[in-house]
Amino acid sequence: MNEVWIRGAAMTRFGRHLDRSARDLVEEAVRTSLDDAGVEPRHVQAAYVGNAVSGLMSGQESIRGQVVLRHTGLAGVPFVNVENACASSSTALHLGWRAIASGMEDCVVVVGYEKLYDADKAKSFRAFNASMDLGELARRFGGDAGSGRSVFMDLYASMSEGAGEAASMDPGALALVSVKNHHHGALNPYSQYREEVTVEQVLGARRVAGPLTLLMCSPLSDGAACLVLTSRDFQRSRSGGVRVAASVLTSGRADDLSKRSAVERAVERAYAQAGAGREDLDVVELHDATAVAELHLYEEIGLCPPGEAGRLVRDRVTWLGGELPVNPSGGLLSRGHPIGATGAAQVVELAWQLQGRCGDRQVGGARLALAQNAGGWVGTDAAACAVHVLQV
């Protein structure tokens, strides 16, 4: 298997870009990433483009990648359009990794993008909710399932009610996750929200579902991210970069409770592929769609034993300056969550961290990083999960 390297990494600022098109956002990310890699469009052999809901938001279906990349100079190479809920661009990254690892290609671009924000928030929420089994939603909610709000928040709220998790899912721990990630996001010029928040502000914000307040939930966002992948010996890119030590994609167990979760299986395989474990990690980006999700994932990816997730955030283990910083970018809660771009953006952040390019949010001496990105929900599990391990 050939080594796969990230030579270029770039993203737009995430936020509400009402005055910018999806094509405009993608062109910025692709141009900057190619410049970062020292690669010209003519050197690229394929493009893998992740997007989740463009069809529902704008009506653009079928050839989304060809449309947004039309003016980038990449026309003519194979385009692969990838839709896999919030894991769309991390799935695109996995496919690009497979192409180079297998020796089929030597230089590809991976793009993730989304235009999720709309003045009609019900439209955005309907698009979000389409990442679940709509038949099941109709049975649970009736009519226009979940219209006007994200039913994912109900799902995450239910995760906080399990008796075994009560010690780690109390409101104080949940609030600290939001405080931490907004603190990190305030240091990130690409973050949607760059303001610090307090525990009191988080707990006093509007209630969304169960213990979740608005500041414990990721926002609607627009944005794009791009990665340039090459083989180790590709001669037309700059030297250096970050090696992809592991790339794993799993699907969820649906209703089969005899299987472990998609996250647990993906992380175990990624550790084995990278020849590393939790004790070797220096920095993590994970899918904090809500504060509950972050604490839940601490346990699923093996950062702590069951019931101890709250301790990690209270003892500042997962803060910048702690033993294992989690979501130094600000995560989905603060950096934002344009769902088709989120997975690629996580890896952009980690590539920058391993190259020492993150300024005030830099994790000192980072050598090994893990990104976990999940997408959708079916039955009892995430519909998809991608885990990547990066190394310098």
Q: What is the pLDDT of residues 183-241, one digit of tens each?
A: 999 999 999 999 999 999 999 999 998 899 999 999 999 999 999 999 999 988 788 89
Q: What is the pLDDT of residue 137?
A: 81
Q: Is 337 a catalytic residue?
A: yes
Q: Does domain 121-214+248-391 sit in CATH 3.40.47.10?
A: yes
Q: What does the pLDDT read at residue 157?
A: 80
Known catalytic membership, residue 86: yes
pLDDT tens per residue, range 274-294: 999 999 999 999 999 999 999
Q: What is the pLDDT of residues 127-151, one digit of tens each?
A: 989 999 988 888 876 655 555 667 8
Q: Report the C-alpha gap between 352 and 9 in whole angstroms.
A: 8
One of 94, 182, 337, 388 is an active-site residue; which one?
337
In the CATH scheme, what is the code of domain 4-118+222-241?
3.40.47.10
Neighbours of 104 (CB within 10 A): 12
DSSP 372-389: EEEEEEETTEEEEEEEEE
Query: Of 17, 86, 182, 226, which residue is the catalytic one?
Result: 86
Note the pLDDT tens digit of each residue in 81-119: 999 999 999 999 999 999 999 999 999 999 999 999 998
Element (H, E) at 101: helix 88-101
Q: pLDDT tens across 285-324, in order?
A: 999 999 999 999 999 999 999 999 999 999 999 999 999 9
Nearest alpha carbon to residue 166 among 306, 20, 361, 372? 306
| CATH topology identical between 4-118+222-241 and 121-214+248-391 | yes
Q: What is the model's pTM?
A: 0.96
Domain boundaries, the chain: 4-118+222-241, 121-214+248-391
pLDDT in tens, 381-390: 999 999 999 9
What pLDDT does 145 receive? Answer: 54
